[in-house]
Amino acid sequence: MPKHTLLVCTSCHRSSEKRPDHPPFDGNILLEELNSLCDKKFPDNEVEIQPVGCLWACNHGCVVSVASSDKSTYLFVNLTPGESATALLDFMQLYIKSAKGAVIWKQIPEILQSAIFAHIPPQNNS
């Protein structure tokens, strides 16, 4: 089974607040929360949480991308630590079960519905 990846920007901070001079930034905090919850929710290690230095959406607070080969890629913005970690992992369960990464809108956790910035269809390899 291919890995499903959460790419978490570690330099992100909520755009509504002044960015602190030193870490931890909100992206780091969200990354820690995801790591602590992930093993419980995905004991088979089907989800990889990967920190990245920047996802180039700095005006949009905490940013996370969800990706897997041959599936749609999602970009979530304006996430907040605490509220978003559980919702992202709930979304990952739906994403993993979907054949091409297309998650039914009504099933997406409500907190994430307004946070979807981009849905990128899978690349056609034929």
pLDDT at 14: 64
- Identify the DSSP state of 86: H
pLDDT at 19: 61
pLDDT at 62: 87
For residues 52 and 69, is the Cβ–Cβ distance under 8 A?
A: no
Give the tokens for residue 47: 């989800």
Hey, is 47 helix, strand or coil?
Answer: strand
pLDDT at 1: 47
Assess whether the previous peptide bond of 2 is cis (omega < 30° from 0).
no
Per-residue pLDDT of the chain (126 residues; tens, 9 = 90+): 468 999 999 887 665 556 666 667 788 899 999 999 998 888 888 899 999 988 877 667 789 999 999 899 999 999 988 889 999 999 999 999 998 999 999 999 999 999 999 999 988 654
pLDDT at 18: 63
